[in-house]
Amino acid sequence: MINTKQIIVIAGVVLLMVVIFLQPVKSLIKEEDAGVQNTESSSSDQFSLESVSQISKQGLSANLTKSITDLEAELKSAPDADKLPLYKELAQLWLDVNKPMPAAFVYDEIAQKESNLDNWIKAGDMYTDAYQHLTDTVMAPVLTGHAKKAYEQALKIDENNIDARTGLGTALVNGPAPMAGITMLLDVVKENPNHLKANYNLGLFSMRSRQFDKAVDRFNTVIKQTPNNAEVWFYLATSYENIGLKKDAVNAFQKSKELAADPSLTQFIDRKIDELSK
C-alpha cells in the first residue's frame, strides 16, 4: 500500500512534470546562474519559520492547528535552555502531517542548537523534499539555498559523508552550479552505484535535459530498492514514453496508478495509456 506522503506527492506530480520540461536546458548547464542567486538573496528575508508555518497550517484540522500553535507559543516563552526538546516535538508534529517545509526550518533551528551530522543532514533533506515538490518560483530557490547551507555544515563535520555530498550535489544542480552538482552526484554513484537519492536526482536531471535513456537506467535502479514508489514509476513511464518504448511505458504507468490510487492521477494515466495503446 502507498503511504499518505506518497499520495500527497503524487497528486501534484503532473504539475511537477510540466515544471521539469519547461525549465530550459541552457539554464541547467550554466555554472553560475546569477538570476537564481539574486532571487535567493532578495527573497530569503521574506521567509522564516513563522511565515512558512502560517502557510503550512492552511488545510489542517482545527485540532492539529491548535496543537502546533500552542507549541509555538510555548517555544516563544521558553528559556533558551529549554527550547531544544520543544523544537524536536514541533518538528515531529510537522512530519506527522507531511509538511516538509516548516519541518525543515525547525530542523535548521535544532541543528543550530545541537550541531551534529544527523541534524544538519535532516535539515538539508527536509529542505530538499520541500523544494523538489514546490512550483513557487520565488520560494524554491530560497529553500534550495537553505538546503545547500545545511549540507555544507554537515560536510564540515564529515567531509566524506556520502548522504551530505548527495544532498549538496542535488542543491547545486537545482541552484547556482548545475554541472558541479552533477559531477558530485556522479562521484557518489561511482562510489556507490545503488545510492538511492543520487540515482533519483540524476534521473530527474536526465529527464530535464531530455536524456530519457539515462533516466530509465537511473529510475530502474531506484525502483529495485523502492518498488512501491508511485512517483518514480510515473517518471519511469514518462521516460519510456519519450524513447518510444510504449509497452514498457504502459506497464509503468499502470503500476504508478495502482500504487497512487489518486483519482486525478488515475484520469491522467488512463488517457496516457489509451494514447499509447493505439
**Taking Cα atoms as reference points, which of 220, 268, 228 lies closest to residue 248?**
220
Cell 506522503 maps to which residue?
5
Q: Give the C-alpha separation, 106 to 94, whole Å.
A: 9
Spell out the SS3 assignment of 122-170.
Answer: HHHHHHHHHHHCCCCCCHHHHHHHHHHHHHHHHHHHCCCCHHHHHHHHH
pTM: 0.84
C-alpha cell at 234: 510515473
pLDDT value of residue 17: 54
Distances (CA, A) of 194 to 134, 152, 168, 188, 258: 26, 23, 18, 9, 25
Work out the number of other CB atoms within 10 angstroms of the CB of residue 197: 18
pLDDT value of residue 45: 53
Domain 36-176 CATH class label: mainly alpha
Sequence-distant (6+) residues with CB within 8 A of 240 are 212, 216, 246, 248, 249, 252
Q: Write the CATH number of the domain with boundaries 1-31+198-278.
A: 1.25.40.10
Domain regions of the chain by residue span: 1-31+198-278, 36-176
pLDDT tens across the length of the chain (278 residues): 344 444 444 444 554 554 444 343 333 333 333 333 444 444 445 689 999 999 999 999 999 999 999 999 999 999 999 999 999 999 999 999 999 999 999 999 999 999 999 999 999 999 999 999 887 778 999 999 999 999 999 999 999 999 999 999 999 999 989 999 999 999 999 999 999 999 999 999 999 999 999 999 999 999 999 999 999 999 999 999 999 999 999 999 999 999 997 888 899 999 999 999 98
Q: Give the C-alpha separation, 236 to 203, whole Å.
A: 9
Instruction: Give yes or no on whether 1-31+198-278 and 36-176 have one common fold.
Output: yes
